[in-house]
Amino acid sequence: MTGIERYESIAGKATIDELFLLARQIEGLSIQNINSTSVGGGVAEILTRMLPLMKELGVNMRWDVIRGDEKFFVITKKFHNGLHGVPVEITDDEYDHFIRVNRENAAELSFGDVVFVHDPQPVALIEKRIDLGRRWIWRCHIDFSRPDRKIWKFLHRYVSMYDAAVFSAPAFARTLPIPQVLISPSIDPLSEKNMELPETVIDSVFNKYGIDRSRPVVTQISRFDYLKDPVGVIRAYRAAKKRVDIQLVLAGGGATDDPEGPAVMEKIHEEAANDPDILVLLLPPSSDVEINALQRGSTIILQKSLREGFGLTVSEALWKGKPTIAGAVGGIPLQITHKYSGILTYSIDGTARWIKQLINEPEYATKLGQNGREHIRNNFLITRHIKDYLLLFTSLMHKGDLVYLK
C-alpha cells in the first residue's frame, strides 16, 4: 500500500480517487513552495508531510527556503507581531533591509511555473515577476483580522502583484484587487504527531517526565511565544487549582525564525515559580511522538492563544478526541463550535472556570472530544488540504464560477 492509499481508511476511497483526478489537471506544471524556515511552526510541518503525498499523486512540487541574517528575522518577527495587532515600530532602514534580503534571495533562486509564497517574509520576491512572468500565489498563514496599518500598507503593494491570495479564515479577507481564496490548514492523521499510540508508549513518556497519570493533567502544546499566552495559561491553572487537583504541562519547541523564544521562556519560568505540578518542556523538533503521547495522556488540552493564524494544535487535540479549551481567535472558531465540539474562552478567568467544569463533568468532556474528532475528520485532515491546493493551482488556468475540466 502506498502512502496516499493509507488515507483511504480514514478519508474514504472516493476522496483519494478524486485527488488523482484533480492532480491530472496540473500535469507538467512545476509548483514551487517558498517560505522562511524548514523546521518549527505550522507551515514547515504541513509542507514536510504534504510534499511526498503530492509526488505520489504525480504533482511536480518542490520547496525552497529563503535565507536571511539575524536582523532580517528580527524585522520579520516585528511584521508578524504587528500583523497580529501588537504595537510595533519599524524604521525605514528596516523596511529597506527587508527588501534587500528578498532581492538577494530572488537573485539566487530558480523559480517554478507556479510560485507559491508562504507568509510575509518572502513576499517581496514577487518583484521578480516583472522579468520572469509565471503564476504567483501568496499564502498568508497568520491572523489578519486587525493588521497594523503601516505594515499592511507596505505589504499591500506586493500582495497586489500576485495572481491570488490565500487566507486561513473568512475574517482575514482584505480589500485587494486580486482573488482571495479560503484554505484552512490541516493535520496529518498518520504523522507521528497524530497517529494512534499504544498506552505503553503514553505511559513511558509520562513516566519519563515524572507526570502523574493518576491525577488530571492539563496541557498546552505550542511554540513558546507571547501570542500563545503561556503566562496566562499558568495563571488560569493557578486559579483552577484552588478547587481541583491538577497538573500543568507546557510543552513546545522553537522555530529558527523566532528570536523572541528565550525571553518568553524566562518569563514562563518566573511565573511558574518552581511549582512542582508545573512542567515546562522545551522539546527539540524531533519530538513528535512525545507530543502525541502528551496530548493523548492529558485530561484537557488548552490553546489559550491571544492571536492565532489558525491554531493547528487545536485540530491535533480534537482528532485525539480530547476536550479542548481554546481562545476564540483566528481560525480556532472554525475548529470549535462552543459547547458542542470544545470550549471557546476570552479570558484567564473564563479558561480557569472551564478547566474546573470539565474536570468535574468528565462525561460532558468526553462528548465534546467525540464531536470534535468528527468535525476534524470532515474538514481539517491533510486530504482536504491537498484537494484545496490542487484546486488552487488548477484555478489559475481557468475563469468563471463554474469550470468544466477534462
Partner 1 sequence: MTDHGPGTPFYFHTKLDQTILLGVRAKNVKQLLHGIRTVPESSIYHHTHRFLLQHQYLSPEPPNDFAYWVTEIVGNAALGERLASIDIVQFDSIAVLRERFADILESCVTSEEYRPETNHGDDFHFMASRTFVIPTPFVAHDLREFMDILGKISLNALYYHVFDAKLRLGKGENDFSRWLRDQARDDIADKIKRLDPYAQTLEGLRRRIIGLLGRDDRN
Residues forming contacts to partner 1 in the complex (CB under 8 A) are 12, 14-15, 17-18, 21-22, 25, 145, 167, 170-176, 179-183, 328, 374-375, 377-379, 387-388, 391-392, 394-395, 398, 400-406
* DSSP letter (8 states) at residue 163: S
Task: Please identify, using beta-carbon distances, which residue of 116 and 237 lies nearer to partner 1.
Answer: 116
The partner residues of 405 in beta bridges, in order of sequence, read: none
> What minimum distance in Å lies between the beta carbon of 11 and partner 1?
10
Task: Please identify, using beta-carbon distances, which residue of 133 and 179 lies nearer to partner 1.
Answer: 179
Task: Please identify, using beta-carbon distances, which residue of 109 and 343 lies nearer to partner 1.
Answer: 343
Task: Please identify, using beta-carbon distances, which residue of 106 and 376 lies nearer to partner 1.
Answer: 376
On whether the CB atoms of residues 71 and 104 are closer than 8 A, the answer is no
Q: How far apart are CA 24 and CA 58, in angstroms?
A: 8
Give how far Cα 48 sits from Cα of 23, 43, 88, 187, 269, Å.
19, 9, 32, 12, 32
Task: Please identify, using beta-carbon distances, which residue of 26 and 44 lies nearer to partner 1.
Answer: 26
Apex CA 159: angle with CA 157 and CA 161, to 5°? 75
Q: How far apart are CA 395 and CA 389, in angstroms?
A: 10
Task: Please identify, using beta-carbon distances, which residue of 132 and 182 lies nearer to partner 1.
Answer: 182
Q: What is the DSSP code string of 35-67?
A: ES-SSSHHHHHHHHHHHHHHHHTT-EEEEEE--
> What minimum distance in Å lies between the beta carbon of 53 and partner 1?
17
> What minimum distance in Å lies between the beta carbon of 402 and partner 1?
5
Task: Please identify, using beta-carbon distances, which residue of 238 and 373 lies nearer to partner 1.
Answer: 373
Give how far Cα 382 sits from Cα of 11, 49, 120, 265, Å.
10, 9, 23, 31
Listed in sequence order, the DSSP H helices in 31-148 are 41-56, 70-83, 92-108, 129-132
Q: How many residues does the chain have?
A: 406
On whether the CB atoms of residues 384 and 129 are closer than 8 A, the answer is no
> What minimum distance in Å lies between the beta carbon of 14 and partner 1?
3
On whether the CB atoms of residues 85 and 307 are closer than 8 A, the answer is yes
> What minimum distance in Å lies between the beta carbon of 369 and partner 1?
14
Please state the separation of Cα 64 from the chain's center in Å: 19
The residue to which cell 510543552 is assigned: 251
Task: Please identify, using beta-carbon distances, which residue of 14 and 273 lies nearer to partner 1.
Answer: 14
Q: Shortest CA distance to 162 belongs to which of 392, 401, 403, 400? A: 392
> What minimum distance in Å lies between the beta carbon of 40 and partner 1?
28
> What minimum distance in Å lies between the beta carbon of 169 and partner 1?
9
> What minimum distance in Å lies between the beta carbon of 385 and partner 1?
13
Task: Please identify, using beta-carbon distances, which residue of 195 and 405 lies nearer to partner 1.
Answer: 405
> What minimum distance in Å lies between the beta carbon of 194 and partner 1?
19
CA atoms within 13 A on the CB side of 244: 22
